[in-house]
Amino acid sequence: MEILDMSFAGVGTLLIFVGLAYAASAAWKEWQQDRQDWEQIEEAERKFLEEHEWKPRMINGIDCGKWVIKERRPFATDW
């Protein structure tokens, strides 16, 4: 009976390790996907901020401004 008990314990332990390995693998893949998504979001935000600027407009202490495209002026001095 002791041999039978040890084999069941071995199978149970194997199943636990397989389950933990699967969970760790799934978590790792999800973390990698989340990281790629955040990189894409940060890149899009960086491009947006390069092309736009915030024009504030205060009304009764509340900022009711809006995002506008930055002016693209030629390089020249203002006289």
> Which of 4-8, 33-37, 72-76 ranks highest by mean pLDDT?
33-37
Structure tokens at 59: 């009304």
CA distance 69 to 53: 6
pLDDT the model gives residue 79: 46
Lookup result for tokens 């390089």: 75
Kindly report whether the global pTM for this prediction surpasses the value 0.75: no
Please write the tens of the pLDDT for every residue from 26-73. Answer: 999 999 999 999 999 999 999 999 988 888 889 999 988 888 888 765
- Amino acid, single-letter form, for residue 65: G
> Which neighbouring-strand residues pair with 69?
52
Question: Is pLDDT at 1 greater than 70 in this prediction?
Answer: no
39-to-14, 30, 43, 75 alpha-carbon distances in Å: 38, 14, 6, 33
Q: What is the pLDDT of residue 21?
A: 98
Tokens (6 digits) for 18: 């397989």
